[in-house]
Amino acid sequence: MKEIKVGYEKVLRPPNTIATEPVYLTDDTMGERKNRILMLMKQHNFDSIVIYADREHGANYGYLTGFEPRFEESLLVIHDSGKAYLMLGNESLKMALYSRIEVEAIHTPHFSLPNQPMETESTWLELLKKVKIDECRKIGIVGWKLFTGKLEDNKHLFDVPYFVVDGIKKVSTNATIENATGLFIDPVYGCRTRMNANEIAHYEYAAATASHCVYEVMNAIEVGKTEMELAELLAAHGQPLSVQTICATGERFTNATVEPRNKKVQLGDRITFTMGLKGGLSHRCGYAVSEKSQLKVDEKDYLERVAFPYYKALATWYSNIGIGVKGADFYTLIDKVLPQNKYKWTLNPGHYTADEEWLSSPFYPNSEAYIQSGMMLQMDIIISVSGFGGTNAEDGIAVADENLRDDIRKQYPELWDRFMKRRMYMQEVLNIPLKEEILPMSTICGYYRPYMLNKDNALYIK
């Protein structure tokens, strides 16, 4: 592998490639989604699956319905015949009319907020019988997590409320009941890990918007500004966030506060900020300085000790990701360039993304997952070097083979133009080579200014 050398000097800023308006999911796309899950149900011999959703964990549910519960809980039950039921609380009951797949609504007051009316002629178990799961031989329960590892049997662990699991077991006494979350998010076969052109266009709006907001903060950072002032830029037209917005200077989490505070940026502060919308997240961190001399004495070699090695790994990530790459091999590659025992990264070096910030990851030891066309991935490596602040330039990409690229080019020509401008910037300005199937979803992919008060200089590959 060719030796990668990192430079830091004045670099042309990235072109403005923010998306101008949302792209909505089509009826054809929603039909494809349902067909995908029905096909996987048959492959894994499920007669029905029960998909749980609440405000924080609704993406698998929303993948089919098009919406997620706003403050209540809900169950979506799908049978292998295609018949679907929505169990909805008092305030969500009306949403059945707007479901993107045909459903039969079952009013379920048990999913309503505390002290709302719960009068019903049917008990909880009787309501579960109305969705016909008592007639099934094999039922899958879908939460939001894959339970993996040698010590646990993930088929029989369920991350949904006890009363839901208990009720399913009581009304389906003759059924085999297993965790079926993998049908949606398993790194090898999960249907949500691959997108069509419409889905990529839909998610690009969010990814580009979030990255543009982060870029605005990069350009606005000044000594004396507060976290809250800067965080005003980390919002976009009321679009739903996928993570807690981060904008922190100096010591973080004081008084257990995770949201932006009325704390002013001081010269030499460590600083970090993040924004994630449904479809993409961008994150940056570094120091509130213009030059090396403004760092504390024991932090003056931050670029050489932390930022340069990180950026070398970033460039390796972007230039090597592509169709056919095996997850285990990619994990080993990143470990070779950025040794885990030295840089203390413990999370996977990248992951899938979609409605949630972290869907699952193909990058782990012994992974059998291969990168395929249609996947959306985050370049996300979090390192820790004792005595120094963090360094990070997280953004997302889509992977598209020739057929998918043709679909995007024909159906969304403006999006295609944005992809090409971003590719050109990464390759010709930052000198990060990309395989032809890599489409940058962020307006600032690869663009990183570790000294945050210097708005001209950035890292690049020599």
Task: Identify whether 29 is part of a domain.
Answer: no
Residues 211, 114: one domain? no
Which of residues 179, 207, 225 is at a domain's end? Answer: 179
Gap between the Cα atoms of 428 and 194, Å rounded: 29
Gap between the Cα atoms of 271 and 391, Å rounded: 10
Residues 49, 149: one domain? yes
Residues 279, 407: one domain? yes
Helix (H) or strand (E) holding 32: helix 27-43
pLDDT computed for residue 118 by the predictor: 81
Gap between the Cα atoms of 454 and 402, Å rounded: 40
Per residue in 320-344, pLDDT tens?
A: 999 999 999 999 999 999 999 999 9
Task: Identify whether 39 is part of a domain.
Answer: no
Residues 401, 319: one domain? yes
By the 8 A CB rule, do 437 and 373 touch? yes
Residue 153 has pLDDT above 80, yes or no: no
Gap between the Cα atoms of 166 and 133, Å rounded: 13
Task: Identify whether 331 is part of a domain.
Answer: yes
What is the rounded average pLDDT of the residues 25-46?
98
Residue 151 has pLDDT above 60, yes or no: no
Which of residues 136, 152, 179 is at a domain's end? Answer: 179
**Which two structure tokens, joined as six digits, stand for 223?**
């000594």
Looking at the structure of the chain, the number of domains it has is: 2
Per residue in 106-123, pLDDT tens?
A: 999 999 999 888 877 899
Query: Domain containing 85: what range?
Result: 45-179
Question: Could you tell me what percent of the chain has a pLDDT over 70?
Answer: 99
Which of residues 179, 210, 234 is at a domain's end? Answer: 179
Residues 175, 197: one domain? no
Residues 392, 353: one domain? yes
CATH number of the CATH domain containing 57: 3.40.350.10
How many other CB atoms sit within 10 Å of the CB of residue 89? 21
Question: Could you tell me what percent of the chain has a pLDDT over 90?
Answer: 93
Gap between the Cα atoms of 320 and 322, Å rounded: 6
pLDDT computed for residue 154 by the predictor: 77
Per residue in 171-215, pLDDT tens?
A: 999 999 999 999 999 999 999 999 999 999 999 999 999 999 999
CATH number of the CATH domain containing 218: 3.90.230.10
Nearest partner of 313 among 331, 338, 333, 332, judged by Cα: 338
Task: Identify whether 322 is part of a domain.
Answer: yes
By the 8 A CB rule, do 140 and 180 touch? yes
Task: Identify whether 223 is part of a domain.
Answer: yes
pLDDT computed for residue 233 by the predictor: 97
Task: Identify whether 65 is part of a domain.
Answer: yes
DSSP output for 43-61: HTT-SEEEEEE-SSS-HHH
